Amino acid sequence: MDFSIGGLSTMAIQQLQLTDTLRDEQTFFTMAAQEMKHQWETWKILQDTQTEIYKVQQEVTLHRAKSQDKLFNKWDDYIKG
């Protein structure tokens, strides 16, 4: 016995529900993939920024050390006179 609702058989309704479910799952996985890509891009930007900060800190530290060495040598030359 075939039941129908609004002219659609039970089998047709189940097929529509399955199609809707598959479409919903596809949408979910697409959104999840986009979110993962966004997180990866954000992490990459943060990593690059931190690397640049480290480089600047190293340059400043090196420059300070060189300046202090120059000043020390000038003072040492003055004392040795």
Q: pLDDT class for 4, splitting at 50, 70, 90?
A: low
Q: What is the pLDDT of residues 11-64, one digit of tens each?
A: 888 898 999 999 999 999 999 999 999 999 999 999 999 999 999 999 999 999
pLDDT at 63: 92
* Residue 6 main-chain phi, psi, to 5 deg: 60, 35
DSSP class of 2: -
Q: What is the domain count for the chain?
A: 1
Kindly report the pTM of this predicted structure. 0.57
3: alpha, beta or left? (left if phi > 0; alpha if psi -120 to 50): beta
Q: Supply the range of the domain harboring residue 58.
A: 4-80
Quote the CA–CA distance of 4 and 8 in Å, as a whole number: 5
Q: Higher-confidence residue: 4 or 62?
A: 62
Residue range 61-69: mean pLDDT, rounded: 91
What count of other Cβ atoms lies within 10 Å of the Cβ of residue 13? 14
